[in-house]
């Protein structure tokens, strides 16, 4: 009876099984293209397939055999294969997602602090963000009160402490091929600034070896000017280089710059040469002055200029590195101060002595009405082991814009310096071929008394001569207007320094200066002076 009942139900069971099979196959076919199907759905389909197989086995056990059952078995096998393919596709998709989420070997996915500098980066390196800061606290004393000429009664150079630089900002990469830098400045010369935008620039780097930079920054214009303030061997740049870079380059200058560098020759086994070329169109500086009230007024028409620099740096592997270069600046149109100003188009060359505790400028051409200003510069350097020697020479020229009956000649001035540094602990200053400059040494050991290491020590010396006199005439005389005399003064400075690098982020500096200024006033009396100064700096940068 049981057997006859089973046989009686077999056609009905077959029909039901065929319907379930068609529905399951259709559902599987619809689900198959979705590689992201979840595990619960696949498990439900597997249970359905197992139930259908069990029903088929039960029909066969009842003794029913037909071509229809064989066809159903083939469809079940096809459905099982399709389900297996779906599992494989899901596993592959999951593995691909996991691979995308994993960082490539060596990539940074969490904040890091190399040498104390906070850094962030995406896994693929396309985006980075680095916190950048420079803090320099200067302190010193001028020995000059008892050595003033008779014509100078009230000059008292300020001594004490001053935050020379206090900068903080961000730099990094955007979409791999763009470098950015946004920096704010709170330090200053003689007194601290209330805070101003110091740099805001964007650089496109994809078209190597070319790089294109736009924004407000310091364009590349000379050997001493190119060196980062945190890596200079003495506390300030040489005055002749400082005057030169201030004509059409300098800090916070709005500019568009194109630059490229490369190498020629055989590398470490033979004499080769590195080269760098840079050119820029420059406009005005974005801000000057130590307070909002004293900031430079907006001109009617801003200055625009063209500058350029080219260098060749022969080297013989790790044994020695030389450097030769030339630079040029041409002010196409000076700032227009307006019809009421006298002079309307002023060009002025001046600088503070190579110490900024006091903001006074002791050599100064005064404002000269100008059409154009030009600067020619030659630069040279040689480094071998722990010793680096360098020097630059500049010629500054001003084309007058004079409409009077008497047209005086166009004045020109000169300046030059030589300096050297010697790292007593044996490290070497690193030549930077991208910017054509000398960077700070890489320390062999950092300051760690417990381990018996003390960092690196460096001595440095410099002589600079800045001559801003033109047809100055004899002492006690007043030059005729036709001579076009400029009594800007001649400044000679001897500087000796000691640097202690505790680690790549912390440095202590000690400088001694002897300053000799020869300058005649309008009536021919001496208004220069000679004095000594000592200063120290504590520096933290990352």
- Find the CATH number of the domain harbouring 528: 2.40.160.10
CB of 86 closer than 8 Å to CB of 37: yes
Residue 178 pLDDT > 70, yes or no?
yes
Tokens of 490: 């001649």
Tokens of 80: 């099982």
Residues 69, 139, single domain; the answer is no
Region of poorest pLDDT, from 188-192, 312-316, 439-443:
188-192
Residue 29 pLDDT > 60, yes or no?
no
Find all residues with CB under 8 Å of 369, minimum gap 6, and list them. 343, 344, 345, 346, 347, 400, 401, 402
**232 falls within a domain:** yes
Residue 283 pLDDT > 70, yes or no?
yes
**292 falls within a domain:** no
Residues 37, 122, single domain; the answer is no
DSSP assigned state of 122: -
pLDDT of residue 46: 72
State how far the Cα of 479 lies from the Cα of 481, in Å rounded to an integer.
6
Residue 268 pLDDT > 80, yes or no?
no
Residue 405 pLDDT > 50, yes or no?
yes
Residues 450, 428, single domain; the answer is yes
Section 274-283 average pLDDT: 97
Mean pLDDT value across the chain: 85
Please say which residue of 49, 72, 101 terminates a domain.
101
State how far the Cα of 75 lies from the Cα of 80, in Å rounded to an integer.
9
Residues 278, 163, single domain; the answer is yes
pLDDT of residue 402: 76
Residues 384, 523, single domain; the answer is yes
Residues 61, 176, single domain; the answer is no
Region of poorest pLDDT, from 274-278, 475-479, 532-536:
475-479
Residues 429, 324, single domain; the answer is yes
pLDDT of residue 3: 41
Section 249-275 average pLDDT: 89
Region of poorest pLDDT, from 54-58, 154-158, 293-297:
293-297
Residue 304 pLDDT > 90, yes or no?
yes
**526 falls within a domain:** yes
Structural domain including 34 reads 2-101
**290 falls within a domain:** no
Tokens of 304: 């625009």
Tokens of 398: 């001003």
Residues 261, 402, single domain; the answer is yes
**344 falls within a domain:** yes
pLDDT of residue 23: 47
**106 falls within a domain:** no
Residue 293 pLDDT > 50, yes or no?
no
DSSP per residue over 92-107, as a string? HHHHHHHHHHSPPTT-
Q: Using one digit for the tens of pLDDT, what is the confidence trace for 222-233?
A: 999 999 999 999
**293 falls within a domain:** no
**294 falls within a domain:** no
Residue 427 pLDDT > 90, yes or no?
yes
Region of poorest pLDDT, from 69-78, 203-212, 434-443:
69-78
pLDDT of residue 82: 73
Is residue 108 very low, low, confident or very high in pLDDT (cuts 50, 70, 90)?
Answer: very low
Residues 218, 76, single domain; the answer is no
For the chain, the residue count is: 542
Residue 43 pLDDT > 90, yes or no?
no
pLDDT of residue 94: 55
Is residue 89 very low, low, confident or very high in pLDDT (cuts 50, 70, 90)?
Answer: low
Residues 479, 421, single domain; the answer is yes
Region of poorest pLDDT, from 112-126, 167-181, 188-202, 350-364:
112-126
Tokens of 262: 């490369």
Region of poorest pLDDT, from 138-152, 467-481, 496-510:
138-152
pLDDT of residue 91: 61
- Higher pLDDT residue, 91 or 414? 414
CB of 364 closer than 8 Å to CB of 374: no
E strands along 385-528, which residues?
387-400, 412-423, 429-432, 437-441, 447-448, 453-454, 456-470, 486-503, 506-518
Residues 418, 493, single domain; the answer is yes
User: Hey, which residues does 311 pair with through a beta bridge?
Assistant: 276, 325
Residues 78, 203, single domain; the answer is no
Please say which residue of 101, 133, 154 terminates a domain.
101
Please say which residue of 50, 80, 101 terminates a domain.
101
State how far the Cα of 89 lies from the Cα of 70, in Å rounded to an integer.
29
Section 183-192 average pLDDT: 89
Find all residues with CB under 8 Å of 129, minimum gap 6, and list them. 119, 120, 121, 170, 172
What is the total count of domains within the chain?
2
% residues pLDDT > 90 (the chain): 62
**Nearest residue to 515 via CA among 497, 539, 528, 532:** 532
């Amino acid at each position: 009876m049981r057997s006859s009942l089973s046989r009686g139900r077999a056609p009905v069971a077959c029909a039901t099984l065929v319907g379930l099979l068609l529905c399951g196959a259709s559902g599987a076919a619809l689900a198959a293209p979705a590689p992201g199907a979840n595990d619960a759905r696949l498990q439900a389909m597997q249970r359905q397939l197992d139930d259908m197989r069990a029903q088929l086995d039960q029909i066969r056990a009842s003794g029913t055999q037909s071509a229809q059952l064989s066809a159903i078995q083939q469809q079940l096998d096809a459905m099982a294969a399709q389900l297996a393919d779906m599992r494989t596709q899901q596993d592959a998709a999951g593995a691909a997602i996991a691979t995308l989420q994993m960082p490539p070997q060596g990539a940074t996915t969490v904040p890091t602090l190399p040498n104390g500098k906070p850094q962030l980066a995406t896994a693929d390196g396309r985006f980075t963000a680095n916190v950048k800061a420079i803090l320099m606290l200067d302190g010193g004393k001028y020995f000059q009160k008892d050595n003033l000429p008779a014509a100078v009664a009230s000059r008292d150079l300020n001594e004490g402490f001053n935050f020379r630089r206090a900068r903080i900002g961000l730099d990094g990469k955007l979409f791999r091929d763009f470098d950015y830098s946004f920096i704010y400045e709170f330090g200053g010369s003689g007194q601290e600034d209330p805070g101003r935008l110091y740099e805001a620039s964007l650089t496109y780097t994809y078209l190597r070896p070319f790089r294109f930079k736009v924004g407000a920054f310091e364009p590349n214009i000379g050997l001493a000017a190119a060196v980062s303030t945190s890596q200079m061997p003495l506390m300030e740049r040489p005055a002749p280089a400082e005057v030169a870079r201030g004509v059409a380059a300098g800090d916070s200058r709005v500019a568009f710059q194109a630059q490229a560098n490369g190498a020629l020759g055989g590398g470490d086994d033979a004499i080769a040469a590195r080269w760098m070329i840079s050119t820029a169109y420059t406009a005005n500086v974005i801000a000057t002055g130590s307070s909002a009230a004293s900031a430079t007024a907006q001109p009617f028409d801003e200055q625009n200029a063209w500058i350029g620099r080219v260098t060749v740096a022969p080297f013989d592997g790790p044994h020695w590195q030389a450097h030769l270069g030339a630079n040029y600046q041409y002010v196409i149109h000076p700032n227009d101060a307006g019809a009421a100003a006298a002079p309307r188009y002023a060009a002025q060359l001046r600088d503070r002595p190579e110490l900024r505790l006091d903001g006074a400028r002791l050599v100064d051409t005064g404002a000269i009405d100008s059409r154009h200003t030009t600067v020619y510069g030659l630069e040279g350097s040689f480094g071998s082991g722990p010793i680096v020697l360098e020097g630059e020479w500049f010629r500054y020229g001003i084309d007058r814009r004079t409409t009077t009956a008497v047209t005086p000649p166009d004045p020109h001035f000169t300046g030059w310096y030589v300096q050297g540094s010697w790292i007593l602990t044996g490290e070497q200053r690193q030549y930077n071929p991208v910017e054509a400059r000398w960077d700070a040494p890489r320390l062999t050991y950092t300051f760690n008394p417990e381990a018996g290491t003390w960092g690196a020590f460096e001595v440095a010396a410099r002589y600079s001569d800045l001559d801003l006199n033109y047809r100055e005439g004899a002492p006690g005389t007043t030059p005729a207007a036709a001579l076009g005399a400029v009594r800007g003064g001649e400044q000679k400075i001897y500087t000796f320094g000691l640097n202690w690098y505790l680690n790549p982020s912390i440095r202590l500096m000690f400088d001694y200066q002897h300053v000799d200024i020869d300058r005649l006033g309008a009536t021919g009396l001496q208004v220069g002076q000679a004095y000594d100064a000592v200063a120290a700096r504590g520096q933290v940068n990352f």
